[in-house]
Amino acid sequence: MPRPLLLTVPLGLVGLFGLATCGLGDSADGPAPTAEEASAPAPPAPGETRDGLVVAALEAPQNLLPFTLGSDSDGEVAALIYEDLARATFDCGLTWKPGLATEWRWSDDGLKVDFTLDDSLRWQDGQPVTARDLVAAMDWVRDPAVASPRSAHYETLAPGPQPTVLDDGRVRFTFAEPSSRDRQWLSLTAVPPVANHQLADVPRDAVREHPANLAPLANGPFQVGRHEPGRFFELVPNPTFAGPPERQAKLDRILFKVLPDYDTRLLELTRGEVDLMSNLEVADAERLKAEHPELRILQRPPRQMDYIGWNNADPRFDTVAVRRALTMALDLDALLARLFTGEDGTVYAQPAVSTITPALCDAVPDDLERLPHDPEAARAALAEAGWTDTDGDGVLDQDGEPFAFELLYNAGNERRRKVAVYAQEALGSLGLKVDVTPVETSQFYTRLKAGDFAAAVAGWNAGLVPNPTVRWRGDRDLDGDGATDGPGEHETFNLVRYGNPEVDALIAKASRELDPSATLAEIQRLIYEDQPYTFLWWRDELLAIHERFEGVEPDILSRLHGAETWWVPDHKVKYR
């Protein structure tokens, strides 16, 4: 945490003012600092920067204009160079703090919101950030010629130019129909303002080829520095950033060093060539903890889950009883413990019961318990569903058809391979014949989206605003033929072709609610009852960072969330 301003007095002056400072603290601000506190290193003064952070990156950002942002690395950098209307923070759920807007007020019907803008904010070239830049962002993102990956977020807004400029310092956004407040915020902040004066005369369909796409003007704490494709990308403090002092950059630079290979990233981390590496394997995190005291291992709250998906359109998996039996046949707790427990007993994952992350504190119902591991009950349920070994060959069958299927996983994913092999063994002991098949990654997801599979070990990266529509809705008319879609015509990401009219109705209801938490809880209960997936676990993301950095808190939003507040004590500076 940043130290009180009084303690930022240069060391040489401490002797002169120490007593007075303590006295002032005693009388006005509570107890005097302890000796340890008084000698604790101080963060840089506002405007002062020191040292740099080197981040191991899989790839460099490719598209940085607010409306072209695509990959995770784009988004990670964008969060540091743009000051959006409001800043997302996470504490059991998303909360919004003033950013470009100093305050806002929602209308009673929840369809309009007025923002008062901070008139002190500037683009890095000194031009003021105005309401026109917000209008420009909406204009760019809604233009089909631009083909913005973020355009879908604006379909909830009313047609026509948005936002409406009320006066120089106030704008109004209007929504077309009610939806949850979190989804509305997502629409309002998905695209930061655009420095439109940088893009004058740029053809809309060629904007990605403009140099501004990789070096846009910033209005946030950092701006784009040097970059060399495939090697590195640098952010440096934005001297014109007029945000509060605690949000002004305290590092000289953040350097993203492109290291596509995991082992090379790990080697560079242990050599001190990079300061931050994410997505560590459990075994590597354990080793680093034991052998590298200069590194801190942090656990980010989970956003990544694994599951075994049963294709509900496949006759073998189209009954609830069979799917529940398959889950009960698997000892998921033992598997989780085996894959995610460190040597000191730390468990780096938690059981999953839905596709909503448990990091959203109250979003997953407390009473939603996992099915028990009960192979005998599973065997009985399968027999009741008509699956018995009539020919004595050791494999269950029904109407002469053996219960045999392929269990796919994406090739190269060792964790999912282990899950598949375990399932093969556990289900095999019940009399199911399971062939474990690795499939090349892009082919794997193509087959999943096309419904071309029986069962698969896969996973989700969960959003922080639950949207059950894309994964679970089964009654949409996507092909526009006037009829509700049947199996094979579900939402693209309803991979297992799940369909439950009761769930569909609740999803439609939730999408119109300002606070859909109760409806979402009911949806999760119904889906868990139906077991379209065997939900496995939520994995913590493990990352390592050099111990010299202060102010670092693992954050679910991004590994670099709040990096503008990170700092290095003067005596630990590595790069001067």
Partner 1 sequence: MDEARSPAQRRGLRLPWRYLLRRLAGVPLQLLAIYTLVFGLLAMLPDPIAASMDPEWSEATVTSQRARLGLDQPLWQRYLTQLGGLLTGDLGTSTMSSRPVSEVIGRALPVTLSLSGTALALAFPLGIALGAWQARRPGTPGDTGVSLLTLTLFSTPVFLLGFLLQVGATWVGLPITTSTSSLMMGEPSTWDRITQGVATVILPSLAMALPSVAVVARYTRAAVLEVASADHVRTARAKGLPERLVWRRHVLRNAAIPILTLVGLSLPRLVAGSVVVERVFSQPGIGATLLSAISAVDVPLLLGLFLLYGLAVAVGNLAADVAVALADPRVRHDG
Which residues lie near partner 1 (CB under 8 A)? 52, 54, 59, 62-63, 68, 144, 146-149, 151-153, 155, 205, 208-209, 213, 229-232, 234, 253, 255, 257-261, 263-264, 267-268, 271, 273-274, 442-443, 445-446, 449, 463, 467, 470-471, 478, 492-493, 575
CA gap 17, 23 in Å, rounded: 10
Closest to partner 1 by CB, 142 or 379: 142
Closest by CA position to 244, among listed 565, 4, 6? 565
Closest to partner 1 by CB, 327 or 558: 558
Local structure of 327: helix, strand or coil? helix
In whole angstroms, how close is the CB of 385 to partner 1 at the nearest point? 32
Closest to partner 1 by CB, 39 or 492: 492
| 309, 448 contact by CB (below 8 A) | yes
In whole angstroms, how close is the CB of 317 to partner 1 at the nearest point? 22
Spell out a b/e string for 60-97, using b for 16 or more CB atoms within 10 Å of the CB, else e: bbbbbbbbbbeeebbebbbbbbbbbbbbbebeeebebe
Q: Which residues contact 205 (CB under 8 A, 6 or more apart)?
A: 145, 146
Closest by CA position to 350, among listed 413, 283, 299? 299
Using alpha carbons only, what angle is made at residue 488 by residues 483 and 494, rounded to the nearest 5 degrees?
Answer: 100
Closest by CA position to 349, among listed 93, 536, 544? 536
CA gap 134, 192 in Å, rounded: 7
In whole angstroms, how close is the CB of 377 to partner 1 at the nearest point? 34
How far out from the chain centre does Cα 120 lie?
31
Closest to partner 1 by CB, 455 or 495: 495
| 185, 86 contact by CB (below 8 A) | yes
According to DSSP, the residues that pair with 255 across neighbouring strands are: 54, 234
Closest to partner 1 by CB, 471 or 561: 471
In whole angstroms, how close is the CB of 425 to partner 1 at the nearest point? 30
Q: What radius of gyration do the chain's Cα atoms show?
A: 27
Closest to partner 1 by CB, 46 or 230: 230
Task: For residue 440, give the DSSP letter.
Answer: -
In whole angstroms, how close is the CB of 102 to partner 1 at the nearest point? 29
In whole angstroms, how close is the CB of 149 to partner 1 at the nearest point? 7
In whole angstroms, how close is the CB of 237 to partner 1 at the nearest point? 15
Closest to partner 1 by CB, 151 or 299: 151
Closest to partner 1 by CB, 253 or 416: 253
Count, residues in the chain: 576
In whole angstroms, how close is the CB of 570 to partner 1 at the nearest point? 17
